[in-house]
Amino acid sequence: MQDVNSHSGTLEHKDAPFDSGSVLERIRTVTDSLKGELDLQVVSSEREHPVSNAMISIDSIGMTAVCDQLGRVCLNALPPGRYYIDVISAGYIAQSVLVSIQGAGAHKLLVKMISNI
C-alpha cells in the first residue's frame, strides 16, 4: 500500500497486512447475495396455452435458455439491473420485454406471444 506524505509530496511505502483473497471472497459473497432470479412463463395470447421450447435470451449478459413443455424457465444469478428479454418461438411474433431486477429473490414474468399463423 502506498501513502502520500503530505509534507514532502513524496510517496512512502508502508507495509500493512492485506489479504486480497479474503477480501475478494467477501465481495463475491455480497455480490452473489444481491443476485435475483427470474421465473418466466411463455403462453399464447389467444388461449394462454404454454409455448414450449421458446428461446429466451438476454444479450447484454450473454444468457440464453429454452422453456420447458409448460412454457417455463428460471433464469438464475441475475445481477440487479434492467434487461431486455428476447423471446422467440416458431409460429409466434418475436417479443422483447424490458425487465427490472431489483435484487435478491424471485421475480415473475408472464409473456404472451401473438401467433403469426
The total domain count for the chain is: 1
Structural domain that includes position 107? 36-113
4, part of any domain: no
pLDDT band at 25 (very low <50, low <70, confident <90, very high): low
Q: Kindly report the CATH number assigned to the domain that includes residue 99.
A: 2.60.40.1120
Encode 7-18: b = buried (16+ Cβ within 10 Å), e = exposed.
Answer: eeeeeeeeeeee
35 by Cβ neighbours in 10 Å (0-12 / 13-18 / 19+) ranks as middle
21 by Cβ neighbours in 10 Å (0-12 / 13-18 / 19+) ranks as exposed
> Which pLDDT score, from 0 to 100, does residue 3 have?
43
Residue-wise pLDDT for 41-59, tens only, equals: 999 999 999 999 999 999 9
Residue-wise pLDDT for 56-110, tens only, equals: 999 999 999 999 999 999 999 899 999 999 999 999 999 999 999 987 888 999 9
86, part of any domain: yes
95, part of any domain: yes
23, part of any domain: no
Percentage of residues in the chain having pLDDT higher than 70: 72
56, part of any domain: yes
18, part of any domain: no
66, part of any domain: yes
Which residue stretches of 17-105 are H helix? 20-34
Average pLDDT, stretch 13-27?
A: 59
9, part of any domain: no
